[in-house]
């Protein structure tokens, strides 16, 4: 798809990505490939349309259903995505002329015949003319459905959050998930300092300031930063905080059991001043390559990669005892919806229990590789109890030689409000302006 990008308009690029996401592909990977050869303005619009539709698809489908003789869930996927792209421009993008939004969306499915093109044209024209008449579920009558439709989250997820936090906070969380997340970078202290990098950013007209929670974090409020620069790594503050919980020191031997794409792995290397060894595992060889590329770019030569399944015994060529272990477990990803909105569309409630069982198997396996007195951090970018509190409770009952330690002493004082009464680290988009993460520090006694 990338080689053809220069011959395509941004709506066609977004349309291709959305259709393939429906088939199970990942939007970020597809978009990166699809934008090769596209100009800056086209790339910006294609990105806006892709993520805008993914972010607001439930609300868009409700709006489309208000004016279509066929309900959204019964429409052919390509027709629905053409309608979504058009409706998103009409309802959310004030600078796009309605005629362009409609006509260009119709062009996307013209190859499917005049009847389908006429249908898309008619529905979009009605949305444009009668947008003020769209009626949504009322908050006081059906709060879960109101939040689900108006803030575009699946009902099962809103019901979970409303039951746990109350409808008002569930609404705030869903609202925060609909926002474009702030851009943060982690300075690579093997190459420069935070103060020096901020000074350089500002000299280039980039609005940069110190992050509140991560000692190595910089918040970018305006301007472009390059993803491949060796002096920093683009990474949310919440993710940056996790490695600090391991209280790493130079010359230790550390295991990163689920390391891809390598943000936390390379951060641990800089906290250890690139002295010692970090063994970075991942089951997927392609994702492991991303870890290797990041380590090379950032000068983290102490990182050694190995393709391995963290649920199973470690390969014989690896150390069998570690000073510290990071278990950044594969999870539902429901804490990073604002960054990857396709998660809320592909994730099913039943998967949470399956993921929890996998996380337990990983924790159970890793426990035997930690030295006595060593520490292990379990983290996940989710809020769900099955993947967080319940896993730690189960683990401590199954492994009596481990204790839970309070996370607070290992973080900046500004992070005090991020640690709850149990000693768990918890971050929320609507409370802290960061991705949603959970972490627990465990010590083998």
Q: Residues with catalytic annotation? A: 381
Element (H, E) at 443: strand 437-444
What is the C-alpha to C-alpha distance for residues 261 and 245, in angstroms, rounded to an integer? 19
Structure tokens at 13: 């690029």
Tokens 């998967």 sit on residue: 351
Within 10 A of 406 (CB to CB), how many other CB atoms are there? Answer: 14
Helices (runs of H) and strands (runs of E) counted in the chain: 17, 12
Residue pair 310/366 in contact (Cβ under 8 Å)? The answer is yes
Question: What are the residue ranges of helices labelled H in 23-76?
Answer: 27-34, 40-67
Contacts of 113 (CB under 8 A, 6+ apart): none
224 conformational bin, left if phi > 0, alpha if psi -120 to 50, beta if neither: beta
What is the C-alpha to C-alpha distance for residues 445 and 440, in angstroms, rounded to an integer? 16
Q: Beta strands 303-307 and 437-444: pairing type?
A: unpaired
What is the C-alpha to C-alpha distance for residues 442 and 304, in angstroms, rounded to an integer? 24
Q: E strands of 268-321, at which residues?
A: 276-282, 303-307
Query: Pick from 266, 214, 202, 220: which is nearest to 245 by CA?
Result: 214
Tokens 């990163």 sit on residue: 256
């Amino acid at each position: 798809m990338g080689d053809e990008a220069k011959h395509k308009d941004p709506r066609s690029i977004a349309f291709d990505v959305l259709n393939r996401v429906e088939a199970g592909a990942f939007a970020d990977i597809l978009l990166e490939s699809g934008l090769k050869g596209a100009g800056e303005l086209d790339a910006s619009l294609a990105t806006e349309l892709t993520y805008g539709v993914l972010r607001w698809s439930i609300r868009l489908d409700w709006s489309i259903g208000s004016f279509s003789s066929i309900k959204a869930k019964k429409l052919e996927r390509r027709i629905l995505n053409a309608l979504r792209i058009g409706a998103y421009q009409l309802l959310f993008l004030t600078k796009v002329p309605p005629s362009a939004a409609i006509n260009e969306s119709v062009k996307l499915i013209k190859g499917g015949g005049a009847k389908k093109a006429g249908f898309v044209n008619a529905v979009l024209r009605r949305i444009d003319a009668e947008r003020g008449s769209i009626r949504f579920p009322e908050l006081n009558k059906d709060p879960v459905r109101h939040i689900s439709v108006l803030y575009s989250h699946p009902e099962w997820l809103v019901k979970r959050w409303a039951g746990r936090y109350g409808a008002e906070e569930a609404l705030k969380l869903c609202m925060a998930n609909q926002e474009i997340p702030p851009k943060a970078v982690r300075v690579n202290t093997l190459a420069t300092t935070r103060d020096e990098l901020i000074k350089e950013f500002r000299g280039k007209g980039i609005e940069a300031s110190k992050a509140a929670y991560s000692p190595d974090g910089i918040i970018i409020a305006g301007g472009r930063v390059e993803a491949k620069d060796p002096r920093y790594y683009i990474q949310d503050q919440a993710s940056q905080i996790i490695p600090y919980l391991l209280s790493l020191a130079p010359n230790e031997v550390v295991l990163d059991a689920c390391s891809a794409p390598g943000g936390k792995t390379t951060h641990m290397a800089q906290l250890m001043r690139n002295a010692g060894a970090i063994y970075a595992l991942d089951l997927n060889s392609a994702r492991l390559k991303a870890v290797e590329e990041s380590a090379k770019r950032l000068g983290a030569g102490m990182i050694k990669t190995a393709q391995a399944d963290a649920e199973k015994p470690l390969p014989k060529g690896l150390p069998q005892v570690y000073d510290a272990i990071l278990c950044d477990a594969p999870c539902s990803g429901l804490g990073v919806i604002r960054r990857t909105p396709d998660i809320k569309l592909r994730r099913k409630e039943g998967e949470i229990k399956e993921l929890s069982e996998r996380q337990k198997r990983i924790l159970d396996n890793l426990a035997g590789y930690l030295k006595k007195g060593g520490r292990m951090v379990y983290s996940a970018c989710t809020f769900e109890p099955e993947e967080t509190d319940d896993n730690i409770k189960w683990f401590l009952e199954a492994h009596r030689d481990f204790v839970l330690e309070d996370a607070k002493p290992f973080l900046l004082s500004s992070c005090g409000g991020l640690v709850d009464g149990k000693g768990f680290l918890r971050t929320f988009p609507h409370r802290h302006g960061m991705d949603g993460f959970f972490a627990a520090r465990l010590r083998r006694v």
